[in-house]
C-alpha cells in the first residue's frame, strides 16, 4: 500500500475493501478529533475518509507467511462521515455571536487550519458533504459556506434515527432492551464525535433527553462486582504489571483482571517509522 511507502516493517491493517474504480493509494492525514480537538489520524483514500486506530496486547506478533512481524498491533481503518470531522472548523469559521447567524466564508478559508494542512486535501469532500448542513452561495466559480444550526440539528437527528434502527440488528442485547435505552445508546455513540456545546446539548434538547440522567439510571440497575460496602469502581489505568491486589473480607488475596492499556492512535507508529527511514 502506497501510504506505507516510508515504513520498512510490515503492519497488519483491517480496512474496508478498496473502491474498484480507485487505485488503492491514500494519504495519512493529521486532523483534529471533532470532540476533543486533539490530533488524530485519518486515512484519505479513493475519495473517502477513514479513522485509524491501533490495539496491542501485552505480548504478540503476527505470522505472515514466512515472515514474522514483531509489531503485534492490530491496525483498523473504519469509514467516518466527513461531516463530523469538518463540523468544528465550519463552526469556528462562521464566527457566530449570540443571535447572529455568522458569516459566509470561502471554502479555501474554512479548511485552512494552522498546523493541520491535511484539511486542505479534503476540499472536494467538504464541498460535496457540507452542503447538507450549510447555507451556501455561489459567485462565479467561488462557493461560500455558512453553517446552518437547523440543518445541522436535522442531520444529527437523522443520524440518531439511522443508528437506533441498526443497533437492534447488531446484537441481541440491543434487541432486548427498550426503545428509550436504544435511543440513549445511539445518542451516546453519536456524542463521541460531538462537542457538548453546542451540538450534543442541542441534540439532547431536541430529543427531550437528559443523557447523563439516563446513563446514570441505567447504571443503577447493574449490580457491582465488589461485595465491599463502598460503590464498585473500575480504573483502567493499572500498574505496569496490569494487576491490582485486593484483600477480601475472608482475608484471601484476589487479583483484578488485567486490562490492556496500549490502545492508541496509529499516528505515533507512522511518525516513528518515518523518522527511522530518514
Q: Indicate whether 6 pLDDT > 80.
A: no
pLDDT for 219 equals: 54
15 near 50, Cβ under 8 Å?
Answer: yes
> How confident is the model at residue 265, as a pLDDT?
56
Dihedral of the CA atoms 126, 43, 54, 90 (nearest 10)?
-20
As a whole number of angstroms, the distance between CA 10 and CA 4 comes to 9
pLDDT for 146 equals 96
- Cis peptide upstream of residue 117 (ω within 30 degrees of 0): no
- Greater model confidence, 133 or 16: 133
Report residue 51's pLDDT band, with 50, 70 and 90 as the boundaries: very high
DSSP 47-69: TEEEEEEEE--SS--EEETTEEE
Average pLDDT over residues 57-71: 79
Q: CB of 164 within 8 A of CB of 186?
A: yes
Tell me what pLDDT residue 54 has: 81
pLDDT of residue 175: 84
pLDDT of 34 > 90? The answer is yes
pLDDT band with cut points at 50, 70 and 90 for residue 213: low
User: Would you state the pLDDT for residue 216?
Assistant: 59
Which one, of 71, 68, 31, 21, lies nearest residue 52 by Cα? 31
Which of the given ranges, 175-189, 216-230, 252-266, has the highest pLDDT on average? 175-189
* Alpha carbons 278 and 6: distance in angstroms, whole number: 8
pLDDT digits (tens, 9 = 90+) for 148-161: 999 999 999 999 99
Task: Compute the average pLDDT of residues 79-87.
Answer: 96
- Range name among 23-27, 91-95, 270-274 with the lowest pLDDT average: 270-274
Which runs of E-coded beta strand occur in the chain? Answer: 13-14, 26-32, 39-45, 48-55, 62-64, 67-69, 74-79, 105-106, 134-139, 142-147, 245-247, 253-255, 264-265
Categorize the per-residue pLDDT at 72 as very low, low, confident or very high, splitting at 50, 70 and 90.
Answer: confident
Q: Given this model, what pLDDT does residue 174 score?
A: 83
Tens-digit pLDDT profile for residues 111-141 = 999 999 999 999 999 999 999 999 999 988 8
Least confident of 35-44, 135-144, 168-177, 227-236: 227-236
Comparing 1 with 49, which gets the higher pLDDT?
49
For residues 166 and 160, give the distance between their C-alpha atoms in angstroms, rounded to a whole number. 10
- DSSP per-residue codes, 4-50: GTT--S---EE-PPPPTTS-S-EEEEEEE-TTT--EEEEEEETTEEE
Q: What is the pLDDT of residues 249-272, one digit of tens each?
A: 444 444 444 444 454 555 554 455
Amino acid at each position: 500500500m502506497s501510504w506505507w511507502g516510508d515504513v520498512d516493517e510490515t503492519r497488519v491493517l483491517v480496512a474496508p475493501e478498496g473502491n474498484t474504480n480507485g487505485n488503492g493509494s491514500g494519504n495519512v492525514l493529521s486532523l483534529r478529533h471533532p470532540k476533543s480537538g486533539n490530533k488524530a489520524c485519518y486515512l484519505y483514500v479513493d475519495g473517502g475518509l477513514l479513522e485509524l486506530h491501533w490495539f496491542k496486547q501485552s505480548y504478540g506478533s503476527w505470522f505472515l507467511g514466512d515472515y514474522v512481524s514483531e509489531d503485534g498491533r492490530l491496525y483498523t481503518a473504519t469509514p467516518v462521515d466527513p461531516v463530523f470531522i469538518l463540523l468544528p472548523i465550519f463552526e469556528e469559521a462562521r464566527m457566530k455571536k449570540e443571535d447572529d447567524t455568522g458569516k459566509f466564508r470561502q471554502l479555501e478559508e474554512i479548511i485552512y487550519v494552522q498546523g493541520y494542512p491535511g484539511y486542505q486535501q479534503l476540499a472536494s469532500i467538504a464541498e460535496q458533504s457540507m452542503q447538507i448542513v450549510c447555507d451556501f452561495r455561489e459567485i462565479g466559480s467561488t462557493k461560500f459556506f455558512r453553517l446552518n444550526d437547523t440543518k445541522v440539528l436535522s442531520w444529527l437527528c437523522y443520524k440518531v434515527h439511522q443508528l437506533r434502527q441498526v443497533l437492534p440488528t447488531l446484537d441481541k442485547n440491543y434487541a432486548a432492551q427498550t426503545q428509550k435505552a436504544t435511543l440513549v445508546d445511539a445518542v451516546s455513540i453519536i456524542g463521541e464525535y460531538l462537542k457538548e456545546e453546542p451540538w450534543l446539548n442541542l441534540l439532547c434538547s431536541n430529543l427531550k433527553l437528559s443523557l447523563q440522567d439516563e446513563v446514570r439510571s441505567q447504571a443503577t440497575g447493574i449490580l457491582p462486582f465488589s461485595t465491599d460496602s463502598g460503590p464498585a469502581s473500575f480504573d483502567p489505568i493499572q500498574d505496569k504489571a496490569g494487576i491490582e491486589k485486593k484483600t477480601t473480607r475472608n482475608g484471601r488475596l484476589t487479583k483484578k483482571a488485567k486490562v490492556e492499556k496500549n490502545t492508541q492512535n496509529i499516528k505515533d507508529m507512522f511518525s516513528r517509522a518515518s523518522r527511522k527511514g530518514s
